[in-house]
């Protein structure tokens, strides 16, 4: 963090109160608190479906600020690095407010998805391997992170992301990550909450559909090989732009066509000259005589056509 004279404090190039920094600082502060009250914080604020259904509804939100306390805070570092990197490229498109809504809504949506998954597992007998358990505790910001990853894949579908050591197109990153997560869960100790990840991604996709018409490209950060792709509706509008530009000259074209009709209706050269002298454009920088052509689309749209016509009539 640095402070420049006359400027507010900043962190990683953004003001302290920037959403990315606020989320980062809150997660880091709570992580340090966990060193002193690790099990108490996880017990009270980690996500346990049985506790949520028993009244601890706040856990579908608070679990996203807790991380595994290890000598090397790998869990926290991965989630916060991903949040900052993905968020830096999403905020210029959707803005800080929608980003904040997206992040925390994905976090809550992922938590609710975990609870519903556990409840469904009980309804089906409690032995479905891909569903959550009522007593399993879930912590971490990865539900919100998968929401960002889903939206990043929409905006930058052809960007390449490294998942472990494998390069993956951003549009496939969520689904590839889920497959890898399920494989690790089946081969390992099941420490990854794939249901939470899926819930965060689905929540973000639903929010994107809600806000889609309001999303417009902004001043995007330049990343070599990474270009923002507009929604289909925006691409259609962009393709229609040449027709809009063409319409800007339609009025002038109609005026010039009317002038040419008036010229054709005159019976003699003097009448043509008298008519054209009355509609001359002052200080016109007209083209050389050889370029004047009343059938040329450029001439038909030029506001100085009357000036060229007068010169032609005087020849």
Same domain, 188 and 259: no
Q: Would residue 45 count as lying in a domain?
A: yes
**119 and 253 fall within a common domain:** no
Q: Is there a single domain that holds both residue 267 and residue 189?
A: no
Q: What is the CATH number of the domain that holds 191?
A: 1.20.1540.10
- Say if residue 207 is in the same domain as residue 279: no
Nearest to 107 by CA among 236, 34, 202, 225: 202
Residue where one domain finishes, among candidates 190, 214, 238:
214
Are residues 146 and 79 part of one domain? yes
Q: For residues 24 and 211, give the distance between their C-alpha atoms in angstroms, rounded to a whole number.
A: 25
- Whole-angstrom Cα distance, residue 188 to residue 264? 89
- Residues 151 and 87 placed together within one structural domain of the fold: yes
Assigned domain for 129 exists: yes
* Nearest residue to 19 via CA among 100, 95, 140, 92: 100
| Tally of domains within the chain | 2
- HEC string of the chain equals CECCCCCCCEECCEECCCHHHHHHHHHHHHHHHHHHHHHHHHHHHCECHHHHHCCCCCHHHHHHHCCCCCCCCHHHHHHHHHHHHHHHHHHHHHHHHHHHHHHHHHHHHHHHHHHHHHHHHHHCCCCCCCCCCCCCCECCCHHHHHHHHHHHHHHCCCCEEEECCEEEEHHHHHHHHHHHHHHHHHHCCCCCCHHHHHHHHHHHHHHHHHHHHHCCCCCCCCECCECCCCCHHHHHHHHCHHHHHHHCCHHHHHHHHHHHHHHHHCCCHHHHHHHHHCCCCCCCCCCCHHHCCCCCHHHHCCCCHHHHHHHHHHC
**Residue ending a domain, choose from 197, 214, 231:** 214
| In a shared domain, residues 188 and 302 | no
Q: Which domain holds residue 269?
A: 248-314
In a domain, 44, yes or no: yes
Indicate whether 21 and 79 sit together in one domain: yes
Tell me the two tokens of residue 163.
């998942």
- Are residue 127 and residue 42 in the same domain, yes or no? yes
- Residue 26 in domain: yes
Which segments of the chain have a pLDDT < 70?
Answer: 1-7, 38, 188-190, 215-248
Query: Does residue 30 lie in a domain region?
Result: yes
Residue 201, CB-side half-sphere exposure with 13 Å CA sphere = 20
Last residue of a domain, one of 214, 236, 270: 214
Q: Is residue 205 part of a domain?
A: yes
- Asked whether residue 102 is assigned to any structural domain, the reply reads yes
**Has residue 2 been placed in a domain?**
no
| Residues 6 or more apart whose Cβ sits within 8 Å of residue 151 | 90, 94, 102, 204, 205, 208
Q: 201 and 267 share a domain?
A: no
- Same domain for 64 and 106, yes or no, is yes
Tens-place pLDDT, residues 118-134 = 999 999 987 777 788 89
Same domain (yes/no): 293, 182 = no
- List the beta bridge partners of residue 14: 11
């Amino acid at each position: 963090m640095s402070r420049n004279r006359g400027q507010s404090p900043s962190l990683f190039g953004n003001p302290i109160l920037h959403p990315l920094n606020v989320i980062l600082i809150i997660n880091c502060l709570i992580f340090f608190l966990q060193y002193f009250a690790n099990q108490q914080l996880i017990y009270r604020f980690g996500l346990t479906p049985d506790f949520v259904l028993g009244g601890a509804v706040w856990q579908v939100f608070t679990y996203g600020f807790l991380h595994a306390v290890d000598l090397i805070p790998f869990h926290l570092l991965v989630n916060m690095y991903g949040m900052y990197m993905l968020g830096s490229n999403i905020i210029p498109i959707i803005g800080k407010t929608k980003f904040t809504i997206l992040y925390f809504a994905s976090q809550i949506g992922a938590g609710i998805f975990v609870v519903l998954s556990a409840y469904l597992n009980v309804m089906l007998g409690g032995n479905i391997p891909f569903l959550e358990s009522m007593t399993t505790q879930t912590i971490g910001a990865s539900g919100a992170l998968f929401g960002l990853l889903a939206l990043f894949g929409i905006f930058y579908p052809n960007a390449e992301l490294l998942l472990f050591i494998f390069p993956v197109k951003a549009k496939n990153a969520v689904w590839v990550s889920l497959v890898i997560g399920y494989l690790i869960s089946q081969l390992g100790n099941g420490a990854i909450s794939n249901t939470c990840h899926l819930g965060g991604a689905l929540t973000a996709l639903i929010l994107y559909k809600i806000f889609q018409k309001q999303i417009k490209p902004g001043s995007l950060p330049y990343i070599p090989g990474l270009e923002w792709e507009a929604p289909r509706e925006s691409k259609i509008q962009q393709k229609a732009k040449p027709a809009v530009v063409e319409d800007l000259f339609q009025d002038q074209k109609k005026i010039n066509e009317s002038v040419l009709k008036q010229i054709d209706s005159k019976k003699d050269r003097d009448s043509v000259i008298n008519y054209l002298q009355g509609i001359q454009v002052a200080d016109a920088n007209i083209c050389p005589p050889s370029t004047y052509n009343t059938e040329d689309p450029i001439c038909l749209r030029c506001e100085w056509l009357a000036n060229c016509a007068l010169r032609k009539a005087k020849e």
